[in-house]
Amino acid sequence: MRRRSLLTSALMAPSLLTTALLTPALLTPALLPTVAAAQDFAERPLTLVTGYAPGGSTDIAARLLADRLAAHLGTGVRVVVENRSGAAGAVASEWLRRQPADGFTLMVAETGSHAIAPNALIGWNRYDPVADFTHLGIIGIPPLILVTNNRFLGTSPGATAAEVVQALRAAPPDSITYATSGVGGVLHLASEMLALQLGTRFVHVPYRSGAQMLQAIHTGEAQFGIAALASANAMVREGMVRGIAVTGRRRFPTYPAVPTLVESGVPDFDFDTWFVLVAPPGMPAGTAGAINRALVAALAEDPLRDRLMAAGHDAFRGPNGLAEARGFAQAEVAKYREVVARTGVRLSP
């Protein structure tokens, strides 16, 4: 009971993410200000960096966003996606903070590299996730999903989520392997917190990408994993892995039959992830404001929102200025600092 109360208290801590999701007003293109020409973004291509390999959740979000962000930055603007994978996004983040803050180098930052690793990874000293970056806007809140291989612990293909959760709970400690896309990321912490909540231990098998992780689960090299829905979407729909339960408080609209972990017997388990557009520190206010307005305008477009949803993402819906983006980052870093302190979950590099 002690473990459950610690986890519940930490995860129920309020954050700007929760507040923003409850905001009813949606910005529409008609209400959005025109992007000011703070500089000529058509001078050369903008680079939009992701910290993960192609085909993963972060990469999918970046590629869906790139063209519409460019369109709202001005005529002739191009945004090129570049993958700099390694250390659960930390390699790209370290590289980004050393680039010129001229508006031509941006990054899709996410929960693992900018909130979890700085708090949970033992011996962390790479960068400050708030002070070392300019926060330009919140992109979205992509859900996570618990997936297993089709032969998971002998359960039948029609086994319910509650039955799978019970099989996880009942298995001897260290007898089940789980896959992630790397050490210190959101999938790593989510899986360890699931083990904590179930009162057991799992064996971590990290891979270099979400695609490799899911392939390992499909072949049985690893038995289960918590994956980004955008990464797992195709393999779940094709029946190559089984989508068991989502980790947030609500079912995802494109998977209405997939329950939450709370519904499946894991009380109060609520674990979401997020994407924020960031840049090197010290960006001029005019440049940062122009990119923020372009991002907000792009995310207000129904066609882009629909494409994001179909791919397993959920575009951000709340107030989304520069101040909100930085405040959100500060609140999420503080939230995960408390999660780590209260639960004692620490991740080995």
Assess if residue 278 is contained within a domain: yes
Q: Are strands 46-50 and 275-279 parallel, antiparallel or unpaired?
A: unpaired
105: enclosing H helix or E strand: strand 105-110
- CATH number for the domain spanning 218: value is 3.40.190.10
> 22 pLDDT band (50/70/90 cuts)?
very low
Rounded distance, CA 321 to CA 319, Å? 6
Contact assessment for residue 237 and residue 202, using Cβ atoms and an 8 Å cutoff: no
230: enclosing H helix or E strand: helix 229-237
What Å distances lie between residue 243 and 44, 77, 142, 263, CA to CA? 42, 39, 15, 14
Rounded distance, CA 343 to CA 8, Å? 9
Rounded distance, CA 130 to CA 150, Å? 41
Residues 79, 158, single domain; the answer is: no
Contact assessment for residue 52 and residue 321, using Cβ atoms and an 8 Å cutoff: no
Which residue range is the domain that position 218 belongs to?
Answer: 144-246
Residues 96, 205, single domain; the answer is: no
**pTM (whole model) above 0.75:** yes
Other Cβ atoms less than 10 A from the Cβ of 333: the count is 18
Residues 309, 333, single domain; the answer is: yes
pLDDT tens across 190-213, in order? Answer: 999 999 999 999 999 999 888 999
Indicate the average pLDDT of the chain.
87
CA 114 to chain centre: 10
pLDDT at 36 exceeding the cut of 70: no
Last residue of one domain, picked from the residues 230, 246, 262: 246
Residues 138, 277, single domain; the answer is: yes
Highest mean pLDDT among 93-97, 110-114, 140-144: 93-97
Assess if residue 257 is contained within a domain: no
Q: What's the structural domain count of the chain? A: 2
Residues 62, 128, single domain; the answer is: yes
- CATH number for the domain spanning 30: value is 3.40.190.150
